[in-house]
Amino acid sequence: MPAHDVILTAPMCRLGASFTGGALTRLDFLPLDTPVSTQLDARARQLARELDAYWQNPAHPIDVLFVPQGTPFQLRVWRTLMAIPAGQQTTYGTLAKLLGTAPRAVGQACGANPLPILIPCHRVVAASGLGGFMHSSSGAPLDVKTWLLAHERRAD
């Protein structure tokens, strides 16, 4: 399941990217000690360029071709997520009401998100706290979520 096409640098971690054809289909957070790719093809270079722009300016819209794969419900949730502007947050409960479903179902769909950052699942928090990230409720993933929120907050 792992085996990424390229590993890129990020300020708080490394990112493993997988492509299918010309489209990005998967993005994973990896530990800081993961060796970074030295050779980048055109699509990887484009992705790296867009991400760099985002690290510089959280308001920068990431312009890359990506194709998320999931159930119809998940795609519906993810599509809704992408309407949340950078620097803003929503809760699972609010989204659930909006979609006519349950908060827990929204959380599960967020966890299944194969393209974090591009699909801003980190902008969804629990009604009473931070909530989880990448299918977990503690540990490194939560640090990443916190980092991303802090990064986007700097844009005010």
Partner DNA sequence: TGGTACAGGCCAT
Partner DNA sequence: ATGGCCTGTACCA
The residues assigned a catalytic role are: 121
Helix%, strand%, coil% for the chain, nearest 5: 40, 20, 45
Nearest CB to DNA, comparing residues 45 and 104: 104
112 is a contact residue toward DNA (CB under 7 A): yes
In degrees and rounded to multiples of 5, residue 106 shows phi and psi of -65, -45
Beta strands in 2-151 (DSSP E): 6-9, 14-20, 23-30, 90-91, 124-125
79 is a contact residue toward DNA (CB under 7 A): no
109 is a contact residue toward DNA (CB under 7 A): yes
What is the sign, positive or negative, of the torsion defined by CA atoms of 70, 28, 87, 112?
A: positive
Q: What torsion do the CA atoms of 28, 34, 37, 43 make, to the nearest 10 degrees?
A: 10
113 is a contact residue toward DNA (CB under 7 A): yes
The correct pick among 9, 46, 80, 108 for binding DNA (CB under 7 A) is: 108
133 is a contact residue toward DNA (CB under 7 A): yes
Tokens standing for residue 66: 């990506």
122 is a contact residue toward DNA (CB under 7 A): yes
Residues in the interface with DNA (CB under 7 A) total 36
43 is a contact residue toward DNA (CB under 7 A): no
The correct pick among 40, 53, 105, 149 for binding DNA (CB under 7 A) is: 105
Nearest CB to DNA, comparing residues 8 and 77: 77
Q: Using the structure block, give the residue that is written with the tokens 């867009």.
A: 50
Q: Which residues bind DNA (CB under 7 A)?
A: 70-74, 91-93, 96, 101-113, 116, 121-122, 124, 126-128, 131-137
